[in-house]
Amino acid sequence: MMMYVVKKSFKSMGKFYGVGSIIEDPTAIKRFKSKVNEGKVIVVSDDNLQSVAAYIKARSNVDILPKVTKSKDIKPELPKESEAKTVEPKKVKVKAKVVIKE
């Protein structure tokens, strides 16, 4: 699940977004992509959640973990072993190179 967390405070369309705020609707922010590129907003996934939370806690003393757990009530379920999908290798076409020697 992808989420967005504010790293540096900014104001957009009359609303103030402080450090540690979770952005649930990116379409409500003007020039959202530029905010991400400037580093004002961080893209958070399950993989980097702990490191982002530690960074924001150390930098601005805001704990985002309780907010994140409230906003994502659905816990990801792991697939059962019987439902696990097998990955088939890709088929590659190989062409023979013809070399004529004299």
Domain residue limits at 36: 3-76
Residue 90 domain-assigned (yes or no) = no
Confidence band, pLDDT 50/70/90 cuts, at residue 84: low
Q: Which one is predicted more confidently, 64 or 75?
A: 64
Q: Whole-number mean pLDDT of the chain?
A: 78
pLDDT of residue 74: 42
Handedness of CA 20, 26, 30, 35 (dihedral sign): positive
Residue 8 pLDDT > 60: yes
Could you give the angle at the alpha carbon of 57 between the alpha carbons of 54 and 63, nearest 5°? 105
What span, in angstroms and rounded, lies between the C-alpha atoms of 42 and 9?
Answer: 12
Residue 27 domain-assigned (yes or no) = yes
What span, in angstroms and rounded, lies between the C-alpha atoms of 53 and 34?
Answer: 22
Residue 89 domain-assigned (yes or no) = no
pLDDT of residue 77: 43
Q: How many domains would you assign to the chain? A: 1
Enter the pTM of the model. Answer: 0.60
pLDDT of residue 54: 87
Residue 82 domain-assigned (yes or no) = no
